[in-house]
Structure 1
Amino acid sequence: EQRFGLELDIDRFMIVAGSDFNMGAMESKGVNIFNTKYVLANPETATDVDFANIEAVVGHEYFHNWTGNRVTCRDWFQLSLKEGLTVFRDQEFSAAMSGGDENEAARATKRIEDVRVLRQMQFAEDAGPMAHPVRPDSYVEINNFYTMTVYEKGSEVVRMYQTLFGRDGFRNGMDLYFKRHDGQAVTCDDFRHAMADANGRDLAQFERWYSQAGTPRISVTTSYDEGTRCYSMTLTQGYAHGAPAARATQKGPLHIPFAIGLIGPDGADLPLRLEGDASAQGTTRVLELTEMQQTFTFADVMVKPLPSLLRNFSAPVIVDYDYGNDELAFLLAHDSDPFNRWEAGQRLATRELLALAGRAAAGQPLDVTDALVDAFRRVLTDESLSPSFRELALMLPSETYLAEQMTESDPAAVHAARQFVRKQLATALKREWLTAYERNVTPGKYEPTPEAAGHRGLKNLALSYLPELDDSAQAVSLATAQYEAANNMTDRSAALSALLNAQAATGNDVASKALEDFYVRFEKEPLVIDKWFALQATQRGTAQRPAIETVRALMGHPAFNIKNPNRVRSLIFSFCAANPAQFHAADGSGYAFWADQVIALAALNPQVAARLARNLELWRRFTPALRDAMRAALERVASEAKSRDVREIVEKALA
């Protein structure tokens, strides 16, 4: 309300919540309709993530009063006008509520969380057969266009206006937008015109962000002239791999705000003066890339710098720059931009994990470099960094994200590599993990504050590594004690997850007692039982009992109901989308299970079925044996599923 001057125009903000709602929430003006997942919480039943999500979703729907209801969409193609803008507003709200207006690290933590989701899910959408622009120009079934592109990439497009014009300029554009259009049904172009007119800028080229599909790719080359003290940076834009439908929309260069910094050998930011400027203008500069290739030259650069590229993820693009491992470690240690500190660590880990995945696929021995272990040790022991930032920096890239970086996705090789690295990090840093666990205990009454949540997050991340040790007895002891003493769902569910991991790693039955207790304790709490199902669906299983056997057995559990969307998401979606190594089993059992469930759901709940159907849309990117099994499953669904929503997905995937 303070940030944008927009208050609700009715006396009460009213919500009705149901447990059988397909969506998260809906902004109908008189009374919002919510899924219970995004309303109901208390410390015993909801995690820190649940509390944060509830705050964000309530904020999102409240903000829709102005960006969605009072100014609404002229037609369905303009859906991102309200959704992209409102996602941006809820992201900014959550960052502020976590202390981000006063604390750059808190703001960066929220930014990192949002970008992780964008990269793993929206970039994958851009690379597949369902790729479409932020403002689609056609659709078969509108339910299938409530997508990551419309919402999350749409939010990034809105954020770029703020990056270009600053907070004040963005607010001026918002004010003009409402002055012109309050009470109207308008278009994405109307919003763009308001931003342009309020800031005296020509944004005609910026329109391509709305009409071109695919993920832009920026190649960066640099050179330093010691004699003239000039540093040149050449940016070349293109697109990442994408489907033919996406490539057909790519008509010309985008207007890309590309924020950069230059870092000296001492780790300090250098002042930035572009050639032609009278004086240096700060230590972060937003370069505006508007051509296919542009060179920017900085003057008075007294030492050869290391570039810090795309600070704060200033545009939804992929950056190609040939950093050395030592350079990435340096950025992780010294970059003043918190997002890029995290990014450097992720690049370092991704590079190592992909190399190890290649070795695993070839049956070669694996080892972990000292550089990665040392980088993790520095972050883990750096008490000047917030616990929430350290938690994010110490999370390895997900198996799904790593597989998407491969020319041919090999989930088994990725899983082997990632598990090997987790084991090596657990072993080499055992003492440091235990210290982090002890120092981040939050005694006393549970408080869902960002600070306390950060401590719990780092503590529970440390706990998650310890079951990887050859001798996991200490991990089992810690997890059991934490489970029994927990006064909140965050700690209880993390302890149960650690016990399930220890059970998978050792084959010893160390989790069944806690698993049974969890169910009995929360049998009357549907949202908690959803967690119980999800925890089991995402465990890595054993040779004796692969995860799919557990999932099939749980489908016969009295608490499972395929007609309840939350229950379906907790069990079926968790296995198919969040357990890649088990889902992509070499025998094809995961795909057969997927096809069974899509066909069954198509007759019961076409929207949920269509969401599940998208799980195989990138099938062409996998190794040949998996590819053939996926195609067979898709063809079966195409012939048997009685739903237009589902058929659109699978027919585009097979085309």
Structure 2
Amino acid sequence: VLADAQTATDTDFANVESVVAHEYFHNWTGNRVTCRDWFQLSLKEGLTVFRDQEFSADQMGTESGRAVKRIDDVRLLRQMQFPEDAGPMAHPIRPDEYQEINNFYTVTVYEKGAEVVRMYQTLLGVDGFRRGMDLYFKRHDGMAVTCDEFIAAMADANGRDLSQFKNWYSQSGTPRVQVKEQFDSRKHEYRLTLKQSCPPTPGQVIKKPFHIPLKASLLFSGNAALTSKEANYFGQEVLLELTQPEQTWVVKHIPAKPVLSINRDFSAPIVLEHPQSEAELLALMAYETDSFNRWEAVQKLAQQFILSDRKPNQQLLEAYRRLLVDPPLDPAYKQLLFTLPAETYLYEQVQSVDPQKLHWARRGFKSTLANALKSDWERIYRSLQTSAKYSPDAKSMGRRALKNDALMMLLETKDTQWYEVAEDQYELANNMTDRFAALQALVAVGAPHAKNALADFYQRFSEDPLVVDKWFALQATQPPQTQGHTVLGHVQELMRHPAFQMNNPNRVRSLLHAFCLSNPGGFHAAEGVTYAFWAQQVIALDEINPQVAARLARGLDRWRQFAPRYQKSMKAALEKVAAVNRLSPDVREVVSKALLAKPAPR
């Protein structure tokens, strides 16, 4: 596992470090203490993912760096695991059965499993979690055990009853927590009511209450606008343990209505149904002391505007501008503050998805951010230029991330002088991160010299398979330039490229998976044609590599969440795949469960 600045991006360097750490950590959590059977897979994988997440967070070097890592992990969970938990392939982190073992290695077992481990640390504290780990290793070194032994070690080491916490292991689906706030100005009393539920999932209609740890704080609000001084008035963080279907907490002697900050640091992997006003979210955006929830407030505001197809108003633009020019904020954290909610995450927020409408609403929001803050983006881009030798340290990575986001935003303004700046960055870059970011920006906006840059990139790196994979993926995920336009024709053209091989899993992932699974704006642009293409490729791949084909087949497993005109074409494509007689068990499981999925509740 090697990385070089000329061929590997900052993300590649971080991933190499994470993977090496993960496999090393398996010495204790996976090898010396291993699984009794495959149903216990999350015992070693969820725990080891948590350990490698914590290692990577520590490597960031600062508290804001840890927040960046936490946000990245939650974004992955929301974009990939939440949809899985809401779809026909939903399963607990410790399933009771499986149909095809190759479909067992999922984001639920790994990433949600890691979140369950993290909740032990939240409930027991860092020291209590360490006591539990020490007891687990002392009891079971050299043994093959189950998740129950891990739970018992955590409980026994801390004198806690964790029997209800086991529901996280046996129940699928993402819990939802409704938040209701009441403030009595006469009594100066604040009441917080939390109500939990979990939607039905395949084989599990009725769910027992989960044991949900929620970090929370009350921030004082004067006229719904926090000040930095007031933010600490009720700033002490508390841990609320939601164990009943509904619970209420009462806080007395409150001088004014507070702003609630809850599920801080994303302390539980839930969907929070918390109606907040634009004013409250703007206050949290400006003064929230928890880095995750500050980012979350920005995400919620962007989501509200995008889902209602509104451009950001002047008040929101000014709030964004203050974040962008705030000197104390870490560049990597700023970059995440300006990363809009993913389209697939937005799909989960509506009942009947029109992917094209959402795609263009999101594009419009981003374009407004780019144009309204253009002068600020220019200053950011120029201030982060450096002639220093490339270094993969966290601070340098963060500066490059923000600089390259600024470049992307400046190209979004369609100011052609910035096309030339991007071309210069591409030519003169001393590292792959900057070179690839410039190429990506040129391709994303359909710049005149994008084709020449793509040709040059391939010529430079045609002998490096991993870089060629990047070249394919970049083109497969490029957004459509106009409404009604699809990049499918270009994907089909790339399939005829000499470097594309259907029997090369990485190459298939970089082109077909990238287009069908990671380019919603392109994949759903001409639904009838693209879904038929998807079916054709799943069938062809199944004869070569059923595991890779099964992952591609997941591209339509959430077809029931889309608007009727999309559903019709999606169902036809699924039925075409299901009609193949010699379909592998891997793909058969995915498409059969998808076709059996019930309509989304309305």
After TM superposition, the score normalised by the length of structure 1 is 0.88
1:331 maps to a residue whose letter is: L
1:80 to 42, 46, 50: 42
Q: Determine the structure 1 residue equivalent to 2:523.
A: 583
Matches for 1:88-487 after TM superposition, within 5 Å: 88-99=50-61, 103-239=62-198, 241-248=199-206, 250=207, 252-265=208-221, 266-267=227-228, 268-270=230-232, 283-356=236-309, 367-469=311-413, 471-487=414-430
Q: Determine the structure 1 residue equivalent to 2:599.
A: none
In structure 2, C-alpha distance between the alignment counterparts of 1:331 and 1:620, rounded to whole Å: 35
In structure 2, C-alpha distance between the alignment counterparts of 1:444 and 1:402, rounded to whole Å: 39
CA deviations on 1:500-526 (whole Å, 9 max, x unpaired) are 1231xxxx6321111111001101111
Matches for 1:27-46 after TM superposition, within 5 Å: 39-46=1-8
Measure how far apart 1:118 and its partner are. 0.5
Per mean C-alpha deviation after superposition, the further-off stretch among 128-137 and 581-590 is 581-590
Q: Is the counterpart of residue 510 in structure 1 residue 472 in structure 2?
A: no
In structure 2, C-alpha distance between the alignment counterparts of 1:259 and 1:269, rounded to whole Å: 16
Q: Is the 8 A contact 2:299 2:341 kept in 1?
A: yes
- Secondary structure of the residue aligned to 2:579 is helix
CA deviations on 1:132-163 (whole Å, 9 max, x unpaired) are 11110110111101111111111110000000
In structure 2, C-alpha distance between the alignment counterparts of 1:458 and 1:546, rounded to whole Å: 29
Q: Is the 8 A contact 1:47 1:490 kept in 2?
A: yes
Measure how far apart 1:302 and its partner are. 3.3
Q: Determine the structure 2 residue equivalent to 1:526.
A: 465
1:215 maps to a residue whose letter is: T
* Identity between Structure 1 and Structure 2 (%): 56
Per mean C-alpha deviation after superposition, the further-off stretch among 546-555 and 338-347 is 546-555
Aligned-CA RMSD value: 1.5
Q: Is the 8 A contact 2:352 2:561 kept in 1?
A: yes
Q: Determine the structure 1 residue equivalent to 2:568.
A: 628
Q: 1:648/1:293 Cα in 2 relative to 1: closer, same or farther (>3 Å)?
A: same
1:600 to 537, 540, 544: 540
Q: Determine the structure 1 residue equivalent to 2:489.
A: 549
Q: Is the 8 A contact 2:516 2:534 kept in 1?
A: yes
In structure 1, C-alpha distance between the alignment counterparts of 2:390 and 2:200, rounded to whole Å: 46
Q: Determine the structure 2 residue equivalent to 1:65.
A: 27
- Secondary structure of the residue aligned to 1:296 is strand
Q: Is the 8 A contact 1:238 1:292 kept in 2?
A: yes
In structure 2, C-alpha distance between the alignment counterparts of 1:442 and 1:226, rounded to whole Å: 55
- Secondary structure of the residue aligned to 1:595 is helix
Measure how far apart 1:403 and its partner are. 2.1
Per mean C-alpha deviation after superposition, the further-off stretch among 334-343 and 413-422 is 413-422
Q: Which runs of 5+ in 2 are unaligned?
A: 222-226, 597-602
In structure 2, C-alpha distance between the alignment counterparts of 1:153 and 1:572, rounded to whole Å: 26
Measure how far apart 1:382 and its partner are. 1.1
Q: Is the 8 A contact 1:442 1:452 kept in 2?
A: no
CA deviations on 1:169-209 (whole Å, 9 max, x unpaired) are 00000000011111111111110010000000000111101
Q: Is the 8 A contact 1:223 1:231 kept in 2?
A: yes
2:498 maps to a residue whose letter is: P
- Secondary structure of the residue aligned to 1:287 is strand
CA deviations on 1:575-632 (whole Å, 9 max, x unpaired) are 0111112111234221111111111111111111111111100001111111011111
Per mean C-alpha deviation after superposition, the further-off stretch among 223-232 and 600-609 is 223-232
Q: Is the counterpart of residue 535 in structure 1 residue 479 in structure 2?
A: no
Q: Is the counterpart of residue 617 in structure 1 residue 579 in structure 2?
A: no
Matches for 1:565-576 after TM superposition, within 5 Å: 565-576=505-516
In structure 2, C-alpha distance between the alignment counterparts of 1:147 and 1:545, rounded to whole Å: 33
- Secondary structure of the residue aligned to 1:322 is coil
- Secondary structure of the residue aligned to 1:604 is coil
Q: Is the 8 A contact 1:129 1:245 kept in 2?
A: no
Per mean C-alpha deviation after superposition, the further-off stretch among 159-168 and 396-405 is 396-405
Q: Is the 8 A contact 1:120 1:401 kept in 2?
A: yes
Q: Is the 8 A contact 2:305 2:311 kept in 1?
A: no
1:527 maps to a residue whose letter is: L
Measure how far apart 1:41 and its partner are. 0.9
1:540 maps to a residue whose letter is: P
Measure how far apart 1:443 and its partner are. 2.3
- Secondary structure of the residue aligned to 1:513 is helix
CA deviations on 1:531-584 (whole Å, 9 max, x unpaired) are 100111111234697311111011111111111111111111110111112111
Q: Is the 8 A contact 2:381 2:404 kept in 1?
A: yes
Measure how far apart 1:400 and its partner are. 1.6
Q: Is the 8 A contact 1:586 1:626 kept in 2?
A: no
In structure 2, C-alpha distance between the alignment counterparts of 1:620 and 1:577, rounded to whole Å: 16
Measure how far apart 1:242 and its partner are. 4.8
2:220 maps to a residue whose letter is: G
Q: Which runs of 5+ in 1 are unaligned?
A: 1-38, 273-281, 357-365
- Secondary structure of the residue aligned to 2:543 is helix
- Secondary structure of the residue aligned to 1:263 is strand
In structure 2, C-alpha distance between the alignment counterparts of 1:184 and 1:254, rounded to whole Å: 29
Measure how far apart 1:485 and its partner are. 0.7
In structure 2, C-alpha distance between the alignment counterparts of 1:242 and 1:615, rounded to whole Å: 22
Q: Is the 8 A contact 1:132 1:246 kept in 2?
A: no
Q: Is the counterpart of residue 499 in structure 1 residue 442 in structure 2?
A: yes
Q: Determine the structure 2 residue equivalent to 1:652.
A: 593
Measure how far apart 1:300 and its partner are. 3.8
In structure 1, C-alpha distance between the alignment counterparts of 2:237 and 2:511, rounded to whole Å: 45
After TM superposition, the score normalised by the length of structure 2 is 0.95
Measure how far apart 1:455 and its partner are. 0.4
Q: Determine the structure 2 residue equivalent to 1:31.
A: none
In structure 2, C-alpha distance between the alignment counterparts of 1:605 and 1:404, rounded to whole Å: 30
In structure 2, C-alpha distance between the alignment counterparts of 1:424 and 1:580, rounded to whole Å: 21
Q: 1:486/1:415 Cα in 2 relative to 1: closer, same or farther (>3 Å)?
A: same
Measure how far apart 1:111 and its partner are. 0.4
Measure how far apart 1:225 and its partner are. 3.1
Q: 1:145/1:559 Cα in 2 relative to 1: closer, same or farther (>3 Å)?
A: same
- Secondary structure of the residue aligned to 1:295 is strand
- Secondary structure of the residue aligned to 2:173 is coil
- Secondary structure of the residue aligned to 1:462 is helix
In structure 2, C-alpha distance between the alignment counterparts of 1:642 and 1:343, rounded to whole Å: 43
1:73 maps to a residue whose letter is: C
- Secondary structure of the residue aligned to 2:550 is helix
- Secondary structure of the residue aligned to 2:191 is strand
In structure 1, C-alpha distance between the alignment counterparts of 2:525 and 2:445, rounded to whole Å: 21
Measure how far apart 1:654 and its partner are. 0.5
Measure how far apart 1:465 and its partner are. 1.5
